[in-house]
Structure 1
Amino acid sequence: MIAAVSPLSPPKHTAVFIHTTNPFSFPLHSGADPAKMDWIRKTMNFRCFNKRTDSKVLKVEVESGGEDFMDAAVAEARVSPQHLVIMVNGIIGSSADWRYAADQFVKKLPDKILVHRSECNHSKLTFDGVDLMGDRLAEEVLAVVRHRPEVRKISFVAHSLGGLVARYAIARLYENLPKSALSNLTENSLDEEHTSSMHCLEQPCEARIAGLEPVNFITFATPHLGSRGNKQLPILCGLPFLERRASQTAHLIVGRTGKHLFLTDNDNGIPLLLQMVNDSDGLRFISALRAFKRRVVYANANYDHIVGWGTSSIRRQNELPKSNLLVTDNKYPHIVYVERERGDHNSDKKTLVVGKQTTDLEEEMIKGLTQVPWERVDVSFHKSKQRYIAHNTIQVKSYWLNSDGADVVFHMIDNFLL
C-alpha cells in the first residue's frame, strides 16, 4: 500500500480493544484462505439464531480519536477488511450518532469493510467552522490509515453538517499520483520527499484520498447549499424577515459554523461554501469529489425542520420531484424517489469562475457542485410517528427514537459499492 502523503502530520495512533466476547491482541493481516472464510460464515450463520447478536461486533477505541468497528469473527480469523468507511457526525453530535448504521454495516459486510466513527468534531467543537473541522477530520483519517496499512479503499458517510466537513477534508487529503508509482511502490517505499518530487506531466495518474482508492461519498440531510434563505432552514417557514434575522444572529449561537452555513463569512472575500464548489490552487474541492466512483445525497422531502429538501439534494426549487412522482417501495418504505447519477446539463462542464460580486450564491453553488454527477435519494417519513424528528431519523441517530429510518440505512448498505 502507498502511504498517505499530506502536509498534515497525524499524531501517533494506537488501539485498545475494549469490547469483544473473545478478547485478543494480535495483528491483523490481509488475505484469508477458504477454510478460514468458511469458518467465519458458519460462525455467523450460527449466531443468527443467537439472541446476543451484539457480541458479533468488535469495537476498537483509538488514541487519535474515534472508534473502529469490525466483525469479531473476522478479526479472530485474522482477516483484514480492505475497505475503510469513515462516518462523520453532524452539529452538536458525536460518534455515537452512527452507532446503529455502523453495526449494520459490519453485520452485512463483515469481511469487506472496516468502519471508523469519527470523534474529532463533537459537541461544541462543531461550532468551530467547516474549515477547522475539516482539518481535524483529515488529521484523524490519516492517523487511521497509518494504523491500518492493510486498507486499500476509502468511503465517507456523513450526516448533516458532517457532509460539509467531509467535503473539506477530502480536498485536504486529495492526491493525484502516477499509476506507475501506485503499482510499483511498496507501502514503505513512498516517503514524503519522494512523493513531493513526483508529477503527472508525462504519465497517466490516478486520484487518491489519503493514499487510498476513493469509492463512495454519501451524505444524509447535509446543507450543501448552506442554510441561507429560500426555505433552506424550514423551521423559519420561508419568512424573509426570520431568514434575514437568522443570517445575522446564527454566529452568536453556533460560532463560525453559523457564518459558514449562512454565507456571511468573508475571511477571503468569498464565503467558504462558495469556495468549496470549485478547485483552487490550495484545495481541489471538485477534483476530490470527482475522484469517488459514487456520490450520493439522501434528502428528507418533508418534516426536516433543520435542513431543506433543496439544499440537501443539491437541486433548484423547480427541480424537486412533484408529489405525484413520489412512490413507496415495499422493501424501503421511506424511500420515495431515486434519481440516478445526473449532473447539471445546462452548465459549462469546465471549472466555473466564481466572482466576488455574485448575486445568486445558491445558483453558483449548484452549478459548481453539479460539475460532477450525483445520485439523489429522496426520503419521506410523512406516515411515521417519528416524522417530526426526520432530521435524526434519516440516519437512525438513536434506535429507540429513530428506528423508522432503518430502511434508509439498509438502502445505503445494499447499494454500497465495494
Structure 2
Amino acid sequence: MAAASGSVEEEGGLRAEESPSGGVDVWSDAVSSHAPEHLLVMVHGILGSTNDWQYAANEFVKQLPDDVIVHCSEKNMNTLTLDGVDVMGERLADEVLDVISRKPELSKISFLAHSVGGLVARYAIAKLYRHPNSTFDSKAEGTICGLEAVNFITVATPHLGSRGNKQVPLLFGFITIEKVASRVIHWIFRRTGRHLFLTDSAEGEQPLLQCMVEDYGDLYFISALRAFKRRVAYANADCDYIVGWRTSSIRRNTELPKWEESLCEKYPHIVHEEYSEEIDHEKCQDLVPDCDFDLLEEKMVTGLRRVSWEKVDVSFHASMRSFAAHSIIQVKYAFVNEGADVIQHIIDHFQL
C-alpha cells in the first residue's frame, strides 16, 4: 500500500497513491488506452485502517487492471470508528464525493465493506443516493452521486446489530451476559457500541439500525440499496466469535441453512450459496416464524428483505485459526492468506 504520500510503484505494475483528502487509490500501470471507469470503494471495520484491505485491493487491480480503480477508505480509521455509524457514514460519503470529483472518467461505483464498515457503507450510500431524473419513467433507476451503482458487498457485517441472543458468539449465548454487555458496551466502543447493541433510542425515536431498514426522512436507505444491481452478504457460518451468523447473513434462526464441507477446490471455504429474492413488506410479515423472536430484530430482517440479496456462507471451523475467522475472511495480511479463496470468489463474481 502507499507510503506517507505520493505514489509508489509496486510489484506487478500496481500503483498506490494517497489521495489529498485521505484514503489510498490503487490502480494498475498495465491498463490499456483508457482509465478504469469503475470505482470500487473498500471500507474497513472497527478499529481498522486502509491496510486491512491491502491484499484484496491488490488482487482486484492485478486481475481487473482495465476495469477497476480501488479506493481504500481512510476517513474512519482506528479510534474514529467509535464515533457512531452515522458520523462515520457522513465522513465516508464526503470521502467518496472527493474521489469522484477528482476522477471525472468514472461512470460506475461499487462497495466492498468488512464488519461494521458494511453499516457505514449503507449509511453513506443513503447520503449519496440521487433520485432518477425522470419521475415519469417507472424503469428509471437512482444513482450513487450520478454513478451507476453495481455491487454492494458486505463481509461479516452485523446488519441486524449485536444485541440479539448469540449475535456475539464470544458471549457464549448466555442471556445474562448479553444483557450486561448491552449496558456497558459504550464504555469500550462508545457511540458505535450503542448503535450495534441498539441502545441509542434515547437519541431519537428509534435505534439507528432500525431506521436504516427503510427510507427515513431525507435518507433513502432502502432506495439506495435497491439502486445496486447486486447486493451480496458474505457471512461466517457458525465460526465467527465477534459477529453472529444470522446477523451477517440477514436471516432468522429458522432460516440458517444446513451445509456440508465444500467440495470446491477453488473455493474450499465457501460452504453454501443462495439467492434471496426481494419480498414486499406484507409478504415478509406473513413469513414471520411462529416462535419466540426479538421484535426489533424481526423488523430489521423484514426491512432488509425488501431488496434481493445473494448470500454466501463461509466456514473456517476446521482451521487452526478459526478463532480469528472474523479477520481471516477479509485476509488482512498477505502472509496469512487462508481466506484468499473468499477474496477470489468476490473477484470472480464481481459484476463490471
Map 1:248-263; keep pairs closer than 5 Å. 248-263=183-198
SS at match of 2:235: strand
Of residues 155, 172, 180, the one that matches 1:220 is 155
SS at match of 1:102: helix
- The separation in 2 between residues aligned to 1:371 and 1:204, in whole angstroms, is 18
Q: CA deviation at 1:408?
A: 0.2
Of residues 200, 209, 228, the one that matches 1:292 is 228
Q: Is the 8 A contact 1:178 1:204 kept in 2?
A: no
SS at match of 1:206: coil
Query: Which residue matches 1:408?
Result: 342
Amino acid at match of 2:29: A
Alpha-carbon distance change, 329 to 282 in structure 1, aligned in 2, over 3 angstroms: same
- 1:317 and 2:317 correspond: no
After superposition, what is the alpha-carbon deviation per residue over 1:289-312, rounded to whole angstroms, capped at 9, x for unaligned? 000000000000022110000000
After superposition, what is the alpha-carbon deviation per residue over 1:9-31, rounded to whole angstroms, capped at 9, x for unaligned? xxxxxx9642027xxxxxxxxxx
Query: Which residue matches 1:9?
Result: none
- The separation in 2 between residues aligned to 1:407 and 1:151, in whole angstroms, is 29
Amino acid at match of 1:18: S
- The separation in 2 between residues aligned to 1:346 and 1:322, in whole angstroms, is 27
Map 1:74-113; keep pairs closer than 5 Å. 74=31, 79-113=34-68
Map 1:162-173; keep pairs closer than 5 Å. 162-173=117-128
Query: Which residue matches 2:215?
Result: 279
- The separation in 2 between residues aligned to 1:289 and 1:97, in whole angstroms, is 24
Q: CA deviation at 1:384?
A: 1.9
Q: CA deviation at 1:55?
A: 3.9
Q: Is the 8 A contact 1:347 1:367 kept in 2?
A: no
Q: Is the 8 A contact 1:300 1:379 kept in 2?
A: yes
Structure 2: unaligned runs, 5 residues or longer:
286-292
Map 1:109-148; keep pairs closer than 5 Å. 109-148=64-103
How many aligned positions are there? 341
SS at match of 1:404: coil
Map 1:313-392; keep pairs closer than 5 Å. 313-324=249-260, 327-344=262-279, 347-348=282-283, 360-392=295-327
Q: CA deviation at 1:388?
A: 1.4
Amino acid at match of 1:296: V
Q: CA deviation at 1:382?
A: 1.8
Identity over the aligned pairs, expressed in percent?
Answer: 54
Q: CA deviation at 1:268?
A: 1.2
Q: Is the 8 A contact 1:263 1:273 kept in 2?
A: yes
Q: Is the 8 A contact 2:164 2:297 kept in 1?
A: no
Of residues 56, 64, 69, the one that matches 2:13 is 56
- The separation in 2 between residues aligned to 1:382 and 1:204, in whole angstroms, is 44
Query: Which residue matches 1:305?
Result: 241
Query: Which residue matches 1:51?
Result: none
Structure 1: unaligned runs, 5 residues or longer:
1-14, 22-53, 180-199, 351-357
| Max Rg structure | 1
Amino acid at match of 2:335: W
Alpha-carbon distance change, 344 to 233 in structure 1, aligned in 2, over 3 angstroms: farther
- The separation in 2 between residues aligned to 1:153 and 1:202, in whole angstroms, is 21
- The separation in 2 between residues aligned to 1:203 and 1:305, in whole angstroms, is 44
Q: Is the 8 A contact 1:170 1:209 kept in 2?
A: yes
Map 1:176-191; keep pairs closer than 5 Å. 176-178=131-133
Instruction: Decide which moves more: 327-336 or 258-267.
Output: 327-336
TM-score by length of 2: 0.92
